Amino acid sequence: MYTPRGTLDRDSVIERYGKMVRRVAVQMASRLPSSIELDDLVQAGLIGLVDAVSRFDAGMGVQFDTFAMQRVRGAMLDELRNADWMPRSVRRNQRSIEQAIHSIEQRHGRPASEREIADELQMSLEEYQRLLSSAKGSQLVYFEDAAGEDDEENRYEQMLPDEGPTPERRLEDVRFREALVQAIDGLPERERLLMSLYYVEELTLKEIGEVLGVTESRVSQLHTQAVARLRTKLTGWM
């Protein structure tokens, strides 16, 4: 992977880490609307990988794998931000789902069922599930995806409003962490399991579908619904 002069060989690095770039792109695309092209994320990630080769300095005390992963994720996030990846219709669908969930849970004091949410939105269950699919990826980003580097402003902070605490600051607040844990505990059992398998065990949507006995697209719908429930519970913090 190194040239005779001791520097990284770009072609060797791309050959070795190309699959990693695609894996990161697939994971990120699974949380985004279907309008996002996987190939665009892969291309952006490869550009980030090439940039990592040119910028890497072993004297920094960090392994190339770690450095490259930061560059790859950062390049993909830059691509999403520059492309204005979330259409207004997706944001509107997201808000509609959250408002319906909030109204039902305020009335009944328990998690809303899918049928109840569909009725609240005055649509069939099938139409509601299609709405969930279209609202996939409603601004859900891993903190490590957006981790900044010493010489750059944190990419996540660039996507946030100028006012208000950053997500990192919120997580440092004990009260917010308690509220988040309580909100997760309040999810229906299947959705709580899904979130654990996805964010803790880091299973893919396909693997989670095998555990739950449903299709990959159904897992995506349930994930979007779970996120909407959490956002509803944490409205005061957001």
What is the model's pLDDT at position 171?
Answer: 53
Q: Tell me how far apart the alpha carbons of residues 142 and 198 are, in angstroms, rounded to a whole number.
A: 12
Which ranges of the chain have pLDDT less than 50?
139-163
From the number of C-beta atoms within 10 Å of its C-beta (0-12, 13-18, 19+), residue 194 rates as buried
End-to-end CA distance of the chain: 45
What is the model's pLDDT at position 85?
Answer: 55
**pTM greater than 0.75 (yes/no):** no
Cβ atoms 98, 226 nearer than 8 A: no
What is the model's pLDDT at position 3?
Answer: 52
What one-letter code names the amino acid at 9? D
**Domains in the chain, CATH or no CATH each:** 10-82 (1.10.1740.10), 88-139+173-237 (1.20.140)
